[in-house]
Amino acid sequence: MSAVHRLTLGDVLAEHARGRPAGAAVVDGDVRLTYPELDDRVARLAGALAAGGVEPGGRVLWLGQNSFRVLELLLACGRLGAIFCPANWRQSADELAHVLADLTPKVVVWEESEAVEKARGQVPLDARWLRSGEEYEAFLASGDPYLPEAADGGAPVLALYTAAFDGRPNAALLSHTALVAHSMALLHMRQMEDGFTFLACGPMFHVGTMMFTLATFQLGGRLVVTPAYEPDEVCRLIDAERCTQAFLFGPMIDGLVQANAGGKYDLSSLRFVSHSPEWDAMITVDDSPWCASGMGGYGQTEVGGMLTFLGLGMGGAGFAGRPSPLVHVRLLDADGREVPPGEVGEICARGHSLFSGYWNRPELNAAKAAGGWHHTGDLGRREADGTLTFVGPTLRMIKSANENIYPAEVERALKTHPSVADAAVIGVPDERFGQSPKAVVVLKDGAEATAEQIVEHVRGEIASYKKPREVVFVESIPKRGHTPDYDALDAAHGGGAYPGA
């Protein structure tokens, strides 16, 4: 691709800096940046990173809560041809150590926490560690503005850890081209207009928050950042900053309704999906294709966020809608042949918004890209009217609130307990979160452990939200070959409500 045809995140920022000289780009606490100010900071940060040894293909890691620095680190890495990764700050020390060892970043920007400090001690790295705050600001100020002649739009720029197929997560790599393409599709479906303001109150390491962050940036809108979801503060920010959109799902919305029960805050600027009479009375119920259809479609991190949109299939038989205009979707059988409408096959895709593979996973990448298609690992069905239905993952997955929990990952943590001989994890229906993990555990001969001890052990091994909410002890776990018979476990222990069910 010639330079004439490229469009990188850096190009988008440069255009906004020229075309929106007074336009507000970012609000984060006391920090308020216009697009020209953001452009200047990104140029200096890129210069500082380059002087610090970050080269094309090098990695920069963020270990902290939401911050405007996540966006400017991403943009600065884009100028250098480097890769930026905002990691899940809620992970355990062991999980964070895995990220450090796997990604081998050259620079780590971090917020102080016990888990980060423990992980740092476990993995010796030739990396510069910068505390977010004064140390980061001094580092940025030291840089000479970095203005490259051309950047490669096809180069990976963002890494998001996801998909713990084998018990450990993998970093999906997304290029400038993929992010720009996905942003264009999303802002069209959401019918974003000039002045659009997005509140990043969901985690920025999650593609759901990141995709709206980047679509807002693509449009030249305003990003409002809060470190983490806190109902009263989210209500205050929606009121004060007149936010148009926020990253919210059922339980989070319920929290906002409770926090604003007395009508203290004016939430009418928020254009969002209908949820409950109380919620609908507080906000403006949105009629864009994104919200009027019930919000969403089918997606995953590897496709940039959304592969299909409900808004392109409103009233259709399939509850995943139709594919984004920028992708090509086929449902394939095990031999790579397309299945006819009405039959179930693996959802496979290719197109501008798809990822570039996983970091440092050549064998997995070859398997996932077999036949020139990205194999999502999820099953779907094409209905007679052409719309798509998501059936469920080919690998078992638990969907708790908006988080994907892979049983293999929780089982790995369970089996590190000294009293556990074997373990399996199922998902059980949960009124609040949809599903919650339940551990089925076999103890070693003569060993003792309580359910509370098992749960606390898992909490120390992996992120707390992945821990089982219930533990049952059994004599043995039914097997199919060498793997647990999950259907039998579901039947015996109340499993159900899996994605697509």
What type of residue sits at position 81?
Answer: G
Residues 428 and 374 in one domain: no
Per-residue pLDDT of the chain (501 residues; tens, 9 = 90+): 566 778 899 999 999 999 999 999 999 999 999 999 999 999 999 999 999 999 999 999 999 999 999 999 999 999 999 999 999 988 999 999 999 999 999 999 999 999 999 999 999 999 999 999 999 999 999 999 987 766 788 999 999 998 666 667 899 999 999 999 999 999 999 999 999 999 999 999 999 999 999 999 999 999 999 999 999 999 999 999 999 999 998 889 999 999 999 999 999 999 999 999 999 999 999 988 888 777 789 999 999 999 999 999 888 888 899 999 999 999 998 889 999 998 888 999 999 999 999 999 999 999 999 999 999 988 888 999 999 988 777 777 788 887 878 787 788 889 999 999 999 999 999 988 889 999 999 999 999 999 999 999 999 988 888 999 999 999 999 987 767 888 899 999 999 888 766
CA distance 127 to 423: 37
Residues 482 and 335 in one domain: no
Residue pair 155/179 in contact (Cβ under 8 Å)? The answer is no
Domain containing residue 34: CATH number: 3.40.50.12780
Residue pair 241/199 in contact (Cβ under 8 Å)? The answer is yes
In terms of Cβ atoms closer than 10 Å to its own Cβ (0-12, 13-18, 19+), residue 326 is middle
pTM of the full structure? 0.84
Residues 124 and 28 in one domain: yes
Chosen domain end from 159, 194, 212: 212
75 in a structural domain: yes
Residues 28 and 151 in one domain: yes
Name the domain count of the chain. Answer: 3
Q: Strand, coil or helix: what is 270?
A: coil
What type of residue sits at position 204?
Answer: M
137 in a structural domain: yes
Residue 8 token pair: 């990188």
The domain of 464 spans 398-493
| C-alpha pair distances (Å), 431 with each of 340, 410, 428, 486 | 36, 22, 10, 22
Site of tokens 């040894």: 53
Domain containing residue 343: CATH number: 2.30.38.10
Domain containing residue 468: CATH number: 3.30.300.30
121 in a structural domain: yes
| C-alpha pair distances (Å), 208 with each of 74, 164, 203, 211, 403 | 16, 18, 8, 6, 10
Give a three-class secondary structure readout of 391-431.
EEECCCCEEECCEEECHHHHHHHHCCCCCEEEEEEEEEEEC
Residues 36 and 152 in one domain: yes
Chosen domain end from 393, 421, 452: 393
What pLDDT sits at residue 500? 61
19 in a structural domain: yes
DSSP secondary structure code for residue 373 in this structure: S
Residue 354's nearest CA partner among 322, 312, 323 is 323
